[in-house]
Structure 1
Amino acid sequence: MRVFFIKGVLHLLALLPLPRVHAIATRLGKIIFQQNQLRITQVTRTNIQLCFPQLSPVEQDKLIKQSLIETCKTVTELGAVWLWSYPQVLKQIQVVSNEIYLQQAVQTGQGVILLTPHLGAWEIAGLYVSAHYPLTALYRPPKLIGLDNFIHQARERAGGCFVPTNQKGIRTVYQALHRGQVVGILPDQVPNEAAAGIFSPFFGVPAYTMMLVFRLVQKTGALVLFTYAERLSRGSGFHLHFRQAPAMINSAQVEISVRALNQGVEQCVQTCPSQYQWNYKRFKRHPDGEKSKSFY
């Protein structure tokens, strides 16, 4: 029943133009901001307070409110992102900056690791790359199994290959890099396995961070870039960014490489901080094993 309902809502949202969808999300986000007892509001508030202690309480509230609005946009725009034809979706990208970094990296034949943080419309970034480059991307299957095929087909309709974050999927990623192709990874997902990450600062807060990128670079010599799709105002479309990763992400020391990965995510987030998914429990694991402040 839940799967049927979700699909129905997405199909209804797909009937609306993007400005209308974002307007609905803005109203919804403002309502959620007023509901302090909601988990999404609590986690967003805690994470922003942890990561931006330099902001005044008024400034933090402003960022929290805007973040909740942007989170609602992430959800409501999925109708368009997953159900419109992919050429129609890509027409919403108004600006593409520094794609030359990706083009040059692909031409080396070394393989490219394209890191896409939970920032802006990351689904659109994946769709764009799928349509223009040979892409293999890791994804975490949804908790509702009935949605897996639906989401999988939507993500692959532009030609990309999306594989789950298991051993088979990781083997597929290694194979793609050895072929000189592009691999997409969400670098700010908290690893499920105890030996899959280490703690490294993220906005000055210890965050359990994946070591997968470090291992891929060391074993394949792949080049690393960042990308994200920033939402433009009033539902007018998206600005797709490509950025070079911090040089130390290539370090042979895992602590240095992982720290550089988080620094790269931070640099992306700083360009449009309200569009980061601050409702994600990024600090749900704590170095001393205690329950994290943002894990309710």
Structure 2
Amino acid sequence: MNALLRWLASWPLGKLHTLGALLGWVTYLLSPTYRRRLRANADLAGLTPAQRRASVAQAGCMTAEAPWLWLRDGEVSPYCRWEGAELIEQAFAQGKGLVILTPHLGCFEITARAFAERWGAAHPLTVLYRPSRKAALRELEETARGRPGMDTAPATLAGVRQMLRALKRGETIGLLPDQVPPQGMGAWAPFFGRDAYTMTLAAKLVRQTGAHWLLMWAERLPGGRGFILRVSAPQHPLPGAGEPDSEALQQACARRINEEMERLIMLNPAQYLWGYHRYKAPRDAAASPAAAGTQGPAQ
């Protein structure tokens, strides 16, 4: 498997995206479960049929470019163009930690590496990740993501402490806030009109450390022409500044972050990973407060 991935990593990016688009459609056609989930999630967001079809190919592109990102020698910076980088510089000037939130949109894997190549020497980055259950893939992920200026933190209590320490040192952390968190680390909040178990960690870290927070995603350009790294500030601050933590405040913060993620996603909905099982409930998590009959078909 590793030999195949390394061979694919040597391909030009445009060829990988062509292969990925084909694989995306093969997966969509052969997996009824994946097809139903993608269609249901896309319909919740009001995507047009054309946008939904484009998302099938884009999901395949995301998979096919992974070997290129993980195993290719050399920097990715020549393939990246930045828009909004001054917001990151301004955050650094405040002398506090920085939290960067990235949804499953575009080439989200490249965001951390591009950041580390540009700023990691002076401003190290720690990214939260969920280790693969497969040992071989887990080892590959850890090796590929362990780059100069970039560290990884597992989605465990130890990983949370690691990120907290990084922020207190004035460093940067990166999270995917639309990733379903483990039981006890989330709150139910609307996401495109349906309750989703949503990470509370990002807001807690911002509130506990006074860190600045920004939004970032990487738009995949056609024809293998690279990526645009887009950075933006949230439209509204997190609620409850100065208030003690509470379940109601956690839910309000989760709602606010979901609103920001929705805004980013709708800038380019064809590049969002609609097939992701966003609305699943972690094992032993309390059920959504919304009535089951209003939630639509199970996914």
- Give the unaligned 5+ runs of structure 1: none
Is the aligned partner of 1:207 residue 2:196?
yes
- One of 80, 92, 97 as aligned partner of 2:83: 97
TM-score, normalized by length of structure 1?
Answer: 0.89
> How far apart are 1:33 and its partner, in Å?
4.0
> How far apart are 1:147 and its partner, in Å?
1.7
Distance in structure 2 (CA, Å) of the matches to 1:164 and 1:273: 28
Match of 1:235 in 2: 224
Match of 1:275 in 2: 271
- One of 43, 49, 53 as aligned partner of 1:49: 43
> How far apart are 1:43 and its partner, in Å?
1.2
SS at match of 1:249: coil
Aligned residues: 281
- One of 123, 144, 164 as aligned partner of 2:109: 123
- Give the unaligned 5+ runs of structure 2: 242-248, 282-286
> How far apart are 1:267 and its partner, in Å?
1.4
Kindly report structure 1 stretches of 4+ aligned residues shifted beyond 6 Å: none
Residues 52-76 of structure 1 deviation map (CA, whole Å, 9 limit, x = unaligned): 1xx5xxx33x222211111111110
> How far apart are 1:27 and its partner, in Å?
2.2
Contact 1:90/1:124 (CA < 8 Å) preserved in 2?
no
Is the aligned partner of 1:40 residue 2:69?
no
Distance in structure 1 (CA, Å) of the matches to 2:148 and 2:217: 18
Is the aligned partner of 1:68 residue 2:63?
no
SS at match of 1:226: strand
> How far apart are 1:250 and its partner, in Å?
5.0
Contact 1:113/1:222 (CA < 8 Å) preserved in 2?
yes
1:19-38 maps to which residues of 2 (within 5 A)?
A: 19-35=14-30, 37-38=31-32
Match of 1:144 in 2: 134
Percent of aligned pairs with the same residue? 32
SS at match of 2:173: strand
Structural RMSD (CA): 2.0
TM-score, normalized by length of structure 2?
Answer: 0.88
- Shift of the 204–20 alpha-carbon distance from structure 1 to 2, 3 Å rule, reads same
- Shift of the 295–159 alpha-carbon distance from structure 1 to 2, 3 Å rule, reads farther
SS at match of 1:248: coil
Distance in structure 2 (CA, Å) of the matches to 1:250 and 1:80: 40
Match of 1:224 in 2: 213
Match of 1:188 in 2: 178
AA in 1 matched with 2:182: N
Residues 90-121 of structure 1 deviation map (CA, whole Å, 9 limit, x = unaligned): 2211x200111111111211100011111111
> How far apart are 1:31 and its partner, in Å?
3.5
Q: Which piece of structure 1 moves more, 286-295 or 109-118?
A: 286-295
